[in-house]
Amino acid sequence: MLAIPLLIFGTGRSGLWAASILWFFLGSLTPWLAWRWARRILTVPAAAMTGILCAVWPLFVTQVGFFMSELPAIALLLASLLVASRIRDPGRTVRWGELLLLGGLVGLGITVRPQLALNDALAVVPVIWALRRRMFPIAALALGLVVPVGAVAAINTAAAGKPTFLSENTGVNFFLSQCNAGRVVAQGPHSIYEIESPVYTQTHNGRSYAFQGHDIWDQSFFVDQAFRCIRADGIGHVRVIGRHVLDLTVTSVPWPQNDDPGMRGVARVSNVVYSVLLPTIIAASLLAFPRRERTSRGPRLVLAHLLCVLPTVVVFVSEPRYRLPYDVFGLALLAALSARLISVRIDQPGRFRILRAAGSGI
């Protein structure tokens, strides 16, 4: 996506300005899309608060200043969820154009940030289930998905000189997580490459590895090394997984904001406050929105999207930046809880009688 404005306007100052405008546009879409999607599954006050929280959330605002994949990933994911919810409206005629659009958005989202495939599945699988006996609409959805994914796979294959899907760093990422590695240096026949986790850079908690004779994209080698670490750890590997979950929260300051003196303090405070509140938000939502209530379906869906981050960090590397796309769901859940609390207080007998009388008059 970044290559598009650079291709049109060049790689100089004009291209960077065009890319900055594109990133600003994508960042501005986030609160609007979050509000529109929340409006379809949550109450009106909860949806409004979701949009406001996303608009002022410091980690979203500061992320706009960097050309990182999280920003377009959030916008594409929310757009996919919105279109999928519209398609599933009861009694609504399903249009092929909407299915193509949904497939295209999901395909673009996966190519930008493959980790969000679980969230996309939560949105797409119900649509496919509803269309299970209609092959042509499903084919339209599949076509929209295959086009962007196939295009990126073709570009990667041409660049690598061998069949390649979306990336060549899956193996080393799996190794980084399962071997509790913070730094890897690979000196292979074709390159010398170093990868260092931002968590390791800040805390130096993790191991440093160096390999001779293996390129960083030698996925089979790094996957094999990762499974060796798992076998060596045995039951103690649970500690490594627990560390990944913790690294998702407060052990470090989100990168790249950490490298900017003007953003570091705001990012640190925002990340700590959110990380401390998150377990309470999840526990309170389970109590406030019981499964038996029909009105709990929306908040429960938001919670499911939020928890999709856990399989990702268990299998792959973990840091607050990987949690960022899921913060929109945490903020939506906080908004739903706040709206629920406000409605309960208003509905208590003997309180806010003037407000309720005025409301009924309106």
How confident is the model over 80-139, as pLDDT tens digits?
999 999 888 776 777 878 889 999 999 999 999 888 899 999 989 988 888 777 778 888
Q: Measured between alpha carbons, how far is residue 181 from residues 24, 196, 242, 256, 358 in Å? A: 35, 9, 14, 20, 61
- Report pLDDT for 357: 41
Q: Measured between alpha carbons, how far is residue 138 from residues 103, 132, 151 in Å? A: 10, 8, 20
How confident is the model over 215-255, as pLDDT tens digits?
888 888 999 999 999 999 899 889 888 888 888 898 889 99
What is the C-alpha separation between 258 and 221, in angstroms, rounded? 32
- Report pLDDT for 361: 41
* Cα-based torsion angle of the residue sequence 205, 206, 207, 211 in order, rounded to the nearest 10 degrees: -120
Locate the domains of the chain by residue range. 170-245
Whole-model pTM: value is: 0.88
Report which of 137, 131, 35 is spatially closest to residue 82, judged by C-alpha positions. Answer: 35
pLDDT higher than 50, residue 186 = yes
Pairing relationship of beta strands 181-187 and 192-196 according to DSSP bridges: antiparallel
- pLDDT range class, residue 348, cuts 50, 70, 90: low
User: What does the pLDDT average to over 257-269?
Assistant: 91
Burial of 99 (0-12, 13-18, 19+ CB in 10 A): buried
At residue 206, φ and ψ (nearest 5 deg) are 145, 170
End-to-end CA distance of the chain: 48
